[in-house]
Amino acid sequence: MKRLQRCHDIGDLRTVAQSRIPRAVFDFMDGAAEDEVSMQGNRSSFAQYDLLPEVLTDVSNVNMTTTVMGQTIPFPLILAPTGLSRLFHHQGEKAVATAAARAGLIYSLSSGSSVSIEEIGALTDGPKWFQIYVWKDRALVSEFISRARAANYQALCLTVDVQVYGNRQRDLYNGMTTPIRLSRKLAFDLASHPRWWFNLITKGQPQLANVKDKMGDNITDLNSQAAYINRQFDRSVTWDDASWMIREWGGPFAIKGILSPADALRAVEIGANGIVVSNHGGRQLDQAAAPVDVLPAIVDAVEGRADIVVDGGIRRGTDIIKALALGAKACMTGRPYLYGLAAGGEAGVSRALDIFSDEVERDMSLLGVTRTADIGPRHLRHKNDAPRYPSNY
């Protein structure tokens, strides 16, 4: 707990996480595709905007609530789907779901989770989305939809940027592949974190919990499950499949991984109520645009017909405020809560969420706004649009 209390920002949690888990596992969480240009761009694009505060406004009561696809949340943050969380801490998705529910925030459970749809559904009353793909086996997709409905998930979130798996080179060098390549280097790395190793062995090995029963009783290892999932990714998926899923689900439906106004419009036309502007945290197509750079054009195209959420590189309350000023209803966050998870289980996830909430509250006060709906373009200026003065000014 002391260690967590000394974490004053997401970067501090990242530093603690790095010390608590093997390097290969940390890299699997922290890394991105190829040259990691998109991941770095996700951060640097936020820095291209200046905030323009308004002073002498009464900010005694700051209300951070926002509503996304009909769900009101206490501040504009959603926990993004991330697979295999039990690799980072033995409490895995249970810790994340519990911390999210305590904060009243939406948790999007990944299809590749290490705790099942049903277990997370029964664990908390907190708002939940289920993240889904269009698998090759459409019967499996229908089964996942029925399971999510039966377990009371409020919305589906279809991820559309994993036609194939991104080229994550840190994982290739570390042997974090399917199957895992257990080199001497990797064995030494894993063994040098005995507490993590001990918990992994004694508290049940990570599994792809939603598909673990698909391969017969005698196949329980992660490698076989991951190979099964990899075989399910379907390169032939089109808008017709997404449209079919929206009809099958019949409720709030978001499409995650959109980066162009044309695709956003198409999503609205087939009936999506939510659009997650995302490049998968830079983990899929490297050099893909930073979500914050394409956000304004997408907001203009959609004209309020769907709620827009943005993710990738959100590390500060000011990033969230900038995204809202550009027209997003909320942001999603992935690695930041995973840093918290690796740093200290459920308490670490709560610490990450508290840091974000405190920052948004403080930053809204300093910006001079009391409601998220009042944050707008007048609070933002792109550095390229800033007046330039001669050097002797």
- Point out which residues bind ligand FMN (CB under 6 A): 29, 42, 80-83, 110, 112, 131, 159, 256, 278, 280-281, 283, 311-314, 333-335, 338
Per-residue DSSP letters for 313-345? S--SHHHHHHHHHTT-SEEEESHHHHHHHHHHH
Is 280 a residue of the active site?
yes
Given the complex with ligand FMN, which of 66 and 108 has the nearer CB atom?
Answer: 108
Cα dihedral across residues 312, 382, 309, 317: positive or negative: positive
Residue 178 C-beta: closest distance to ligand FMN, Å: 14
The answer to whether the CB of 325 falls within 8 A of the CB of 331 is no
User: Which amino acid is it at 118?
Assistant: E
What span, in angstroms and rounded, lies between the C-alpha atoms of 236 and 233?
9
Residue 256 C-beta: closest distance to ligand FMN, Å: 6
Catalytic residue among 89, 90, 193, 280: 280
Tally Cβ neighbours within 10 Å of residue 145: 19
Q: Quickly tell me which residue has 């277990």 as its tokens.
A: 119
The dihedrals phi and psi of 186, each to the nearest 5 degrees, come to -70, -40
Residues 52-74, buried b or exposed e (16+ Cβ, 10 A)? eeeeeeeeeebebebebbebebe
The answer to whether the CB of 69 falls within 8 A of the CB of 377 is no
- Asked if the bond preceding 179 is cis, omega within 30° of 0, the reply is yes
Per-residue DSSP letters for 19-49? HHS-HHHHHHHH--STT-HHHHHHHHHHHTE
Residue 384 C-beta: closest distance to ligand FMN, Å: 24
What span, in angstroms and rounded, lies between the C-alpha atoms of 354 and 363?
14
**Bridge partner residues of 109 (DSSP):** 130
Q: Where are the alpha helices (DSSP H) in 104-168?
A: 117-123, 138-150
Residue 332 C-beta: closest distance to ligand FMN, Å: 6
Given the complex with ligand FMN, which of 86 and 283 has the nearer CB atom?
Answer: 283
Given the complex with ligand FMN, which of 253 and 369 has the nearer CB atom?
Answer: 253
Contacts of 352 (CB under 8 A, 6+ apart): 10, 13, 333, 336, 337, 339, 340
Pairing of β 330-333 and β 77-79: parallel
What span, in angstroms and rounded, lies between the C-alpha atoms of 117 and 48?
39
Residue nearest to ligand FMN (CB): 334
What span, in angstroms and rounded, lies between the C-alpha atoms of 176 and 179?
8
Catalytic residue annotation:
280
